[in-house]
Amino acid sequence: MYKIIEKYSLAPQIEFARIKAPMISKKAEPGQFLIVVACEKSERIPLTIADFDREEGSVSIVFQKMGKGTHKIADFKAGESFHAVLGPQGNPTEIEGEKNIVVIGGGIGVAPVYPIARKFHENGVHVTSIIGYRGKDFLFWDDKLAAVSNEMKITTNDGSVGHKGFVTDVLQQMIDNKEPIDRVIAIGPPIMMKAVADVTRPHGIATTVSLNSLMVCGMGMCGACRVTVGGEVKFTCMDGPEFDAHKVDFAELMQRLGMYKDLEKDAHDEYKGDSNE
Amino acid sequence: MSDRFTAIHMKEQPAEDRRKNFSEVPCGYTEEEAILEANRCLQCKNAPCIEGCPVAIDIRSFIGHLQKREFDKAINKIYEADILPCVTGRVCPQESQCQARCVLDKKGDAVSIGSLERYVADRDLDRRREALKDAPVDVSGKTKVAVIGSGPAGIACAADLNRYGYDVTIFEAFHKAGGVLTYGIPEFRLPKAIVDVEINSLVQTGVKLVPNALTGRSFTIDELMAEDYKAVFVGSGAGLPQFMNIPGENLNNVYSANEFLTRVNLMKAHRYPEYDTPVKHGKNCAVIGGGNVALDVARTAIRLGSEKVYLIYRRSQEEMPARHEEIRHALEEGMELLALTNPVAYHGDESGFLEKIECVKMELGEPDDSGRRRPIVKEGSNFFIEADVCVVSVGSTPNPLIAMTTPLLETTKWGTIKVDDNGMTTMPGVFAGGDIVTGAATVITAMGAGRTAAASMHEYIKKL
């Protein structure tokens, strides 16, 4: 059993949980993910590692309440335990000699970007963070990220904080200003990651994205998470989750994310119906 | 009525009923049926059946005891060689192993050794369930050994190591133990309640089980060896699903057999929405492949409610590697066999969901390396099969993670781990067996390999 040490809401629909998992925290690195099974009848849900504390023996997740699965995880309270947590899965983010890095987090993607930024920052890399939210009420971890960034830029859709617009606007500006960028690492909704790739591609700026494919096993045995990268089929869980953004077939990724949309909605409506009774 | 040359066939659920449920198909023998069938055994002196068994169960003796209604003696005789007789009695291909060597097979029906094994083993289940109430055996202070994977190889290896007196820990990557017995073989062929008893019995003998532990990520084999573990057995199976690399294979509703079966068997998608994991079975479900796994998928799709289930296989029915019994069961249940057919592309709708499969007709040419006639494409024979779900079941290979993270472990060009005759790998103290060594094979050969390795590990540790 995996006991929840702490659990609270960070923003509307966005939840934080810190879980006791000594074996996982010992190995966890930025860029990796967990598979969480809330209770015996739950799905296996992949969630990126938002933080880890080897001394305490804990790992943290930040997730958005979307379907039945994530709502179920959200309904757990501190002191309760998850049925299963597997991890750390996937390959860690590697520092490849960069001097200037731009990390981009969109919405829920701000959470996994944080430990990545911290890792680069600790290694003396100049970190510029660009984080985008829907609006002021949805901000979270901007303070944490600021503490590990040399520069920090916030965008909101409605302009309630920072730049009004998208993370790509700010990125484009940096490129136009000829600011040095050795690599961009972007995590967020697929449409945002695709937009970032489109911005950096003409300039040949190395760009890494972390994909959020549907998964079942998370260990390379089922192939639910397969994606096409550079014309080759890859498993997100084993070969990723980080890939060269310029080679990812985003259209296919988004198509595959919609595979259970109809069923997901039914299950979600039913689940929320139950808990309202 | 029975004579010496006619087997007592186990009663089965009628095809019309079983199409709609996940209960077991063969119902098991009654005591009288079992005795009648056992009495057909000639008790041959040389017992050729035993040579046909990969773990050399003393078949003659156990059937001999059964003839005398000595049920306890019969089951204990089997346990000497096989700790999972409830499983092997159901899933072993007896017709090509023990029963193929039976003297009666030449003149009539072989003795139904598998059915008898199942009878004797099932009869012991209640006693074993009762025994599970006792506290687990304390193994603290004993020499520690590790087993990676809780499938047939790992279970067999762990059980023997436990008997030799070790403190055994099994590391399982999934949240539930059993390996292919849990995620792969469907409920209607192997009830999960039986797998649970097998796993719980093992735990009760003092074997420790650590789920959610993926070797290569959670820890490496080098790290295990650097801890207190004196030897490690790798029985991680052949879990990497193969695809055909044809256009459209990543369309929505194209599954690997592993994914489709895992969703149902491990995650209980057939009980969705009581369980959260969904699965699509489609109106028309096509399954690619001709092995036992392909048939497990096809028969699962029938039970989930597909109106049409096609099995697309590139050779003819004769060459299908699946057990004849499975093929018969599937055909009775309404599966349509499209032999000498091979998919070349998948076509989807505008949202990326599978609509139809483009296939070609095949014909058989000269025999290939496997001895089976090579399938050759009939040029220009392209045609379409309407299918909204497709499950690719063309085999699996070892997951490369363990080899990748264990520098001293040598592998073959197929990705399997190299071992010597004793099951030891190229890394001292690390042994391996089952599908990770042989490539995808059977439950019983994996169990045999697990036992061989356990014996070698015992010898190895004694010399340390």
Spatial distance between the Cα atoms of B426 and B415, rounded to a whole number of angstroms: 14
Q: Minimal Cα distance from A85: which residue of B? A: B212
Instruction: Assign A45 a pLDDT band (cuts: 50, 70, 90).
Output: very high
Whether B96 shows a pLDDT value over 50: the answer reads yes
**B106 in contact with chain A, both atoms CB, cutoff 8 A:** no
DSSP symbol at B263: I
pLDDT digits (tens, 9 = 90+) for B397-442: 998 999 999 999 999 999 999 999 999 999 999 999 999 999 988 9
Task: Give A112's contacts (C-beta < 8 A, 6+ positions apart).
Answer: A30, A31, A33, A48, A49, A50, A62, A105, A187, A210
Contact at CB, A258 and B252, closer than 8 angstroms: yes
Contact at CB, A89 and B214, closer than 8 angstroms: yes
Residue B219 within any structural domain of the chain: yes
Domain match, B19 and B97 both? yes
> B416 pairs with which residues across the strands?
none
Residue B136 within any structural domain of the chain: no
Whether A78 shows a pLDDT value over 60: the answer reads yes
DSSP symbol at A38: -
Whether B2 shows a pLDDT value over 60: the answer reads no
How far A233 CA sits from the closest chain B CA (Å)?
A: 8
Give me the domain span that covers residue B366. 243-394
Residue B60: how many other CB atoms lie within 10 Å: 19
Residue A41 has its nearest CB partner, among B263, B276, B399, at: B276
SS3 label, residue B309: strand
Spatial distance between the Cα atoms of B261 and B267, rounded to a whole number of angstroms: 9
Residue with more model confidence, A263 or B290: B290
Instruction: Give the count of Cβ contacts less than 8 A between chain A and B.
Output: 114
Question: CA dihedral in degrees (A92, A95, A96, A101; nearest 10)?
Answer: 120
Q: Which of B76, B83, B112 is nearest to B97 (CA)?
A: B112
| Residue A256 near residue B317 (C-beta atoms within 8 A) | no
Least confident of A78-87, A99-108, A260-269: A260-269
Whether B104 shows a pLDDT value over 80: the answer reads yes
Spatial distance between the Cα atoms of B122 and B117, rounded to a whole number of angstroms: 8
> A86 pairs with which residues across the strands?
A35
Residue B131 within any structural domain of the chain: no
Domain match, B377 and B401 both? no
Domain match, B334 and B417 both? no
* Residue A275, pLDDT score: 43
Residue B3 within any structural domain of the chain: no
Domain match, B254 and B234 both? no
Contact at CB, A69 and B276, closer than 8 angstroms: yes
**B71 in contact with chain A, both atoms CB, cutoff 8 A:** no
Domain match, B226 and B165 both? yes
0.90 cut: is pTM over it? yes
**B259 in contact with chain A, both atoms CB, cutoff 8 A:** yes
Mean pLDDT of chain A: 94
Phi, psi of B457 (to 5 degrees): -65, -40
Phi, psi of B229 (to 5 degrees): -75, 125
Domain match, B388 and B409 both? no
Give the pLDDT mean for B294-305: 98
SS3 label, residue B355: strand
Domain match, B24 and B114 both? yes
pLDDT digits (tens, 9 = 90+) for A65-77: 988 889 999 999 9
Interface of B with A in 263-282 (CB under 8 A): 263, 267-268, 272-278, 280
* Residue B367, pLDDT score: 87
Residue B138 within any structural domain of the chain: no
Domain match, B219 and B255 both? no
**What H or E segment, with its residue span, contains residue B198?**
helix B192-204
B401 contacts on A by Cβ (under 8 Å): 219-220, 238
**B247 in contact with chain A, both atoms CB, cutoff 8 A:** no
How far A35 CA sits from the closest chain B CA (Å)?
A: 9
Name the residue type at position A51: D
> A81 pairs with which residues across the strands?
A3
Mean pLDDT of chain B: 95
Phi, psi of B61 (to 5 degrees): -65, -45
Residue B204 within any structural domain of the chain: yes
Domain match, B266 and B379 both? yes
**Whole-complex ipTM:** 0.94
Phi, psi of A264 (to 5 degrees): -60, -40
Task: Give B232's contacts (C-beta < 8 A, 6+ positions apart).
Answer: B145, B146, B147, B148, B221, B224, B225, B429, B430, B431
Domain match, B186 and B99 both? no
Residue B7 within any structural domain of the chain: no
Instruction: Assign A268 a pLDDT band (cuts: 50, 70, 90).
Output: low
CA distances from B450 to A42, B145, B341, B434, B435 (A): 32, 14, 38, 7, 11
Q: What six digits make up the tokens of B90?
A: 């159901």
Domain match, B383 and B324 both? yes
CATH code for the domain of B79: 1.10.1060.10
Spatial distance between the Cα atoms of B236 and B431, rounded to a whole number of angstroms: 11
Domain match, B247 and B205 both? no
User: Structural domain tally of chain B?
Assistant: 3
Residue B328 within any structural domain of the chain: yes
Spatial distance between the Cα atoms of A115 and A176, rounded to a whole number of angstroms: 28
Question: CA dihedral in degrees (B454, B460, B461, B464; nearest 10)?
Answer: -170
Residue B252 has its nearest CB partner, among A44, A216, A256, at: A256
CATH code for the domain of B222: 3.50.50.60
B399 contacts on A by Cβ (under 8 Å): 219-221, 238
Whether A274 shows a pLDDT value over 80: the answer reads no
* Residue A272, pLDDT score: 64
pLDDT digits (tens, 9 = 90+) for B324-356: 999 999 999 999 999 999 999 999 999 999 999
* Residue A277, pLDDT score: 33
Alpha helices in chain A (DSSP H): 22-27, 68-74, 110-122, 142-147, 167-176, 190-200, 236-239, 250-257, 261-276
* Residue B370, pLDDT score: 79
